[in-house]
Chains A and B, each alone.
Chain A
Amino acid sequence: MHIPDGYLSPQTCAAAYAVAVPTLAVASRRVSAVLRTKQVPLLAMFAAVSFLVMMFNVPIPDGTTAHAVGAAIIAIVLGPWAAVIAVSVALLFQALLFGDGGVLAYGANVVNMAILMPFVGYAGYRLIAGRSALTATRRVVAAGLAGFVGINAAGLATAIELGIQPDLFHTAAGAPLYSPYHLSQSIPAMALAHVIVAGPVEAVLTAGVFGYLVRANPSALAATHPGLSGEPSSSSTPSRAPGLLSPARVAVGFVVLLAALSPLGLLAPGGAFGENAPDDLPLADLGLDAIPAGMERYAGFWSHTLLGDYGFADGQNATLAYWVCAVLGIAIVGIAVYAAGRLFVWTTRGRSGRTPVQVHS
Chain B
Amino acid sequence: MTARVLKPAPAWLVSSEQPIGPGRVGRRKRAAFLEKTLGDGAEVVRRAMYAESADPRGDRPGVLFRIDPRIKLVALVVLLLGVALVHTPVTLAVVYLGLVLLAWAGGVSVGAFVTRVWLFVPLFTAVALAPATLSVITPGEVLVPLWTWHGAQEGITSQGLTSAGLVILRVACSVSLVLLVTISTSWNRLLAALGALGVPRIFVMVIAMAYRYLFVLLGSVLDMVLARKARTVQPVAHTAGDRRFVGAAVGTLLGRAGHLSEEVHQAMTARGYAGQHHTLTGFRASGLDLLALAASLMVAVVIVGGDHLLR
Contact = CB atoms under 8 A, between A and B. Distances in A.
Interface stretch (A148-156, A209-217, A240-248, A265-273): A209-217
Interface in A73-104: 73-74, 77, 85, 89-90, 92-93, 95-99, 102-104
Interface residues of A, number: 81
Contacts of B269: 37
Contacts of A58: 243, 246
A49 interface: yes
A127 B304 CA distance: 50
Contacts of B87: 171, 177
A208 interface: yes
At the interface, is chain B mostly helix, strand, loop or mixed? helix
Contacts of A55: 37, 40-41, 44
A9 B170 CA distance: 11
Q: Which residue, B48, B81, B138, B244, has most C-beta atoms of chain A within 10 A? A: B138
A212 B248 CA distance: 6
Contact of B81 (A104, A177, A180): A104
Given A44-B261, A49-B257, A32 B139 contact: no
A6 B262 CA distance: 41
B74 to A, nearest CB: 12
Contacts of B25: none
Given A37-B269, A175-B138, A93 B210 contact: yes
A209 B254 contact: yes
Q: Which residue, A56, A57, A59, has most C-beta atoms of chain B within 10 A? A: A59
A212 B76 contact: no
A25 B203 CA distance: 10
A182 B139 CA distance: 12
A59 to B, nearest CB: 4
Contacts of A89: 203, 206-207, 210
Interface string B179-213: 10010000100100000000010110111111111
Contacts of B60: none
B110 interface: no
A49 B51 contact: no
Nearest to B138: A180
26 contacts: A5-B84, A5-B170, A32-B202, A37-B273, A40-B209, A41-B209, A42-B258, A46-B254, A46-B261, A49-B217, A49-B253, A55-B37, A55-B44, A56-B249, A57-B36, A59-B246, A73-B254, A93-B211, A180-B160, A180-B167, A181-B132, A204-B243, A207-B247, A212-B250, A216-B252, A220-B254
Interface of B: 29, 33, 36-37, 40-41, 44, 47-48, 51, 76-77, 80-81, 83-85, 87, 120-121, 125, 129, 132, 137-141, 150, 158-160, 162-164, 166-167, 170-171, 173-175, 178-179, 182, 187, 190, 200, 202-203, 205-214, 216-218, 221, 239, 242-244, 246-255, 257-258, 260-262, 264-265, 268-269, 273-275, 311
Given A92-B207, A99-B175, A217-B251, 16 more contacts: A5-B84, A6-B167, A10-B81, A10-B85, A45-B217, A46-B261, A49-B217, A52-B218, A58-B246, A60-B239, A97-B182, A103-B174, A178-B170, A180-B167, A208-B248, A209-B251
